[in-house]
Amino acid sequence: MNGHAMPLDATEMKAYLAYMKWLSTGIAGGAKLIGAGMKGIKEPSRAADLGNGAKVFIDTCAACHGRDGLGQRVAKGTGYQYPPLVGPDSYNSGAGMTRVLTAAAFVRHNMPYGTTFDAPVLSDADAYDVAAYMNSLERPIKPNLDKDFPNKLQKPVDTPYGPYADDFPPEHHKYGPFDPIRAPRCGSSRQRASRAQGRQGTAFGKFNAPSRQSMRLSFG
């Protein structure tokens, strides 16, 4: 989440492809699998509480990721036993995890280590707050983020960087609440649908098929 594109013929790429192929062994195309994808959260109707998020982080996350969030390296060799959530080796500012609703859903159903999606440990609100706290910390900056989402109306409401199709500041997009951001979008969608319906009505709704009697009067 802070790397570079891998050559298609790289050994690592071939290993990824082989692994994905192995994962789907014996599974029919289009099959719905238990545990596939990611469950959402019941989104609090408030801005994230960074103070509570910091407390949840220390109480729940620091044992693996460290109180400073810099992770724990493996005893031998390179890499991490528990990945950093902050700092130069963490995910960058354009990663999906910088979106608080995405991060909260992942945390709620997978963290702390050993948690399963059907028996979450954290509440929705605590997952929301700790995700926001994580994303308030420093991390690598991805360049050219203004070129993401050419269609700004398709930009998720919790994307923490602009430009946006609305007038809400980045802080609001980063920490919520998100329903006020959604409301104008929903209204715009309804207006567009109404206008489209109106155009259809103008084109077709005022056309009245001639009756048999009028046709006889017209053509004798």
Percentage, residues of the chain above pLDDT 90:
72
Above 60 in pLDDT, residue 7?
yes
pLDDT value at position 172?
98
- Say whether 153 sits in a helix, a strand or coil: helix
Q: What is the mean pLDDT of residues 75-102?
A: 95
Nearest alpha carbon to residue 57 among 86, 79, 80:
86
Above 50 in pLDDT, residue 76?
yes
- Say whether 148 sits in a helix, a strand or coil: coil
Domains of the chain: 37-193 (1.10.760.10)
pTM of the model: 0.79
Across the chain, mean pLDDT equals 86
The phi, psi pair for 53, rounded to 5°, reads: -60, -40
Residue 124: count of CB within 10 angstroms of its CB: 16
Whole-angstrom Cα distance, residue 152 to residue 144?
A: 15
> CB within 8 A of 120, min separation 6: which ones?
108, 109, 127
